[in-house]
Amino acid sequence: MDFTPPCDSCQSLPCDSGAQVWRIDLAAPPAHLPAALSLLSEDERARFDRFKIPEVKHRFAIARASMRTVLAETAGMKPKDVRFHYGPQGKPSIARECNPNDIRFNLSHSGDTAILAVVVGREVGADVERLRDNLSFQKLATRFFSPAEADSLSGLEAGSLKRQFFRIWTAKEAYIKAVGLGLRIPLDRFAFRFAQDGTPELADTSHDPTQRSKWLFHQFEPAAGCMATIGVARSRENSA
């Protein structure tokens, strides 16, 4: 039973990082599910079984099987042979014994869209979000963003406010995932600004000043109504 991942290579980051980004359609037809499940490990099948909502189960299986397939093709192995290690904050990586080329990756999903960023020898973080309307953007920004980021939203009209909120939010999520420390870094202890071409840049890293110059970011829309940001280390020396 062969699994054909419902994904395509959608972005190459415009820098010398060599990072490649794949877009995965999690709304793949139900006929994909049996083949997807055949690629999952025992612990992944256990996670699949714990989900109660059929739609969530389907998205999980398609995302994991697609991720396994892309990583296996990159590493030159079979999808079922890819084994994962999880860091202290849950960040996944390919186990060293089956990763001689030091392939790094990060997966994010929102609704029916997932993105998978893959790069050799450098840490990477990815985040995708649906541009939802049912949020109190200014209140959330005041609570979680840096003062400068929250102030940048003041006075924006509804459509611009939503878009700018998710530009900042996905950049912050991509950063904490790339660093691998998750919410151990308070979201208000670092801040983003945007260059004239719209590229996210770290403007402040109060939690660790050495991090400010270590990362490159790229932002794009992988599907209609979605915003995504990828963060990747500028050099191998900056990776864990």
Q: What pLDDT score was predicted for residue 16?
A: 58
What gap in Å lies between CA 34 and CA 4, rounded to an integer? 12
What are the start-end ranges of the H helices in 1-124? Answer: 33-37, 42-50, 54-75
Quick one: which H or E segment has residue 127? strand 124-130
Q: How far apart are the first and last CA of the chain?
A: 37
Instruction: Determine the pLDDT at residue 238.
Output: 55
> Which segments in the chain show pLDDT lower than 70?
1, 10-17, 237-240
What are phi and psi for residue 89, nearest 5 degrees? -100, 15
The length of the chain, given as a count of residues: 240
What separation in angstroms does the CA of 58 have from each of 7, 29, 31, 88, 115? Answer: 15, 9, 11, 27, 16
Q: What is the pLDDT of residue 52?
A: 95
How far is the C-alpha of 69 from the C-alpha of 87, rounded, in Å? 22
* pLDDT in the model for residue 4: 84
Phi and psi torsions of 36, nearest 5°: -65, -45
**Number of Cβ within a 10 Å radius of residue 19:** 26
| Residues contacting 43, CB < 8 A, separation 6+ | none
7-119 and 127-238 share one CATH topology?
yes
The one-letter code for the residue type at 19 is A
Residue with structure tokens 């186990």? 95
Look up residue 119 and give its amino acid. Answer: V
Tokens of 37: 């499940």
Instruction: Look up the CATH number of domain 7-119.
Output: 3.90.470.20
Query: Cα–Cα distance between 6 and 29 in angstroms, integer?
Result: 9
Q: Name the residue ranges covered by the structural domains of the chain.
A: 7-119, 127-238
The pLDDT, as a whole number, for residue 18 is 75
Domain spanning 127-238 has what CATH number?
3.90.470.20
Structure tokens at 147: 């003062």
Report pLDDT for 239.
57
